[in-house]
């Protein structure tokens, strides 16, 4: 990625995405180099999949500890950003498991990644679309995880990646009334504009 492309992507990411991007990229880089510490971190993250954000002390440093302070709140429950960070990082760990190629691909939105999945010979376009719609209309982070998990497993099988920093921003947006419509529109556009011969590495502007 060129410096200009990296700068453009950085502007597209929100505060949460920017905070997570370098962490995910470092973790991925070390994992692909077969660093034992990275493999251990991914294994820890997978154990947190489906559990509430902040409920696993062993993950605090990696998940809720990565969220900027201004995106947290003084309540006895995780903020939307903390829930989104936990969801994105644990799903990334599931996606990267056993892969020798990057599961985190900057610039590829969830909508575009799943849009490509529709055209795999081994998949049912109707089933992929139905599950994608379930993620897009989810009302809670638990619903997002329940429906997204199957799609992530399919993406791993097809060795296709997505931008997990951007996904974290999107999940946080889905959990807020003001952000949900924006995220759904962006995902829908990317999903339906993706064609069978699409091989680009980023969404169209």
204 belongs to a structural domain = no
pLDDT digit string (tens) for 62-88? 999 999 999 998 788 999 999 999 999
Residue 81 within a domain: yes
20 vs 178: which has the higher pLDDT:
20
Q: Which of 189, 28, 184 is nearest to 106 (CA)?
A: 28
200 found inside a domain: no
Instruction: Report the number of distinct structural domains present in the chain.
Output: 1
Domain assignment of residue 148, yes or no? yes
- Residue 30 included in any domain: yes
CATH number at residue 121: 1.10.520.40
Q: What is the C-alpha separation between 84 and 87, in angstroms, rounded?
A: 5
Strand (E) or helix (H) holding 72: none
Task: State which residues form the domain around 21.
Answer: 13-193
Q: Read off the pLDDT of residues 143-176 as tens digits, 9 standing for 90 and up.
A: 999 999 999 999 999 999 999 999 999 999 999 9
Tell me the pTM: 0.90
- Specify if 199 maps to a domain: no
pLDDT, tens digit, 9 for 90 and up, residues 20-64: 999 999 999 999 999 999 999 999 999 999 999 999 999 999 999
Residue 184 lies in a domain: yes
Residue 2 lies in a domain: no
Taking Cα atoms as reference points, which of 111, 196, 113 lies closest to residue 159? 113
| H-helix segments, 13-121 | 15-32, 36-47, 80-96, 110-117
């Amino acid at each position: 990625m060129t410096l200009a492309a990296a700068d453009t992507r950085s502007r597209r990411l929100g505060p949460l995405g920017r905070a997570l991007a370098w962490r995910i990229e470092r973790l991925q880089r070390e994992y692909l180099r077969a660093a034992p510490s990275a493999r251990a971190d991914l294994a820890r993250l997978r154990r947190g999949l489906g559990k509430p954000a902040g409920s696993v002390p062993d993950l605090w440093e990696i998940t809720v500890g990565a969220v900027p302070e201004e995106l947290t709140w003084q309540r006895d429950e995780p903020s939307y950003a903390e829930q989104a960070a936990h969801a994105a990082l644990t799903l990334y760990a599931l996606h990267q498991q056993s892969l020798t190629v990057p599961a985190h691909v900057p610039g590829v939105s969830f909508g575009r990644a799943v849009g490509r999945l529709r055209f795999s010979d081994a998949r049912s376009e109707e089933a992929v679309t139905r599950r994608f719609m379930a993620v897009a209309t989810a009302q809670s982070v638990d619903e997002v995880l329940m429906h997204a998990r199957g799609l992530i497993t399919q993406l791993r099988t097809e060795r296709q990646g997505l931008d997990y920093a951007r996904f974290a921003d999107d999940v946080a947006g889905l959990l807020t009334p003001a952000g949900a419509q924006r995220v759904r529109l962006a995902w829908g556009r990317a999903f339906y504009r993706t064609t069978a011969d699409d091989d680009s590495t980023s969404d169209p502007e």
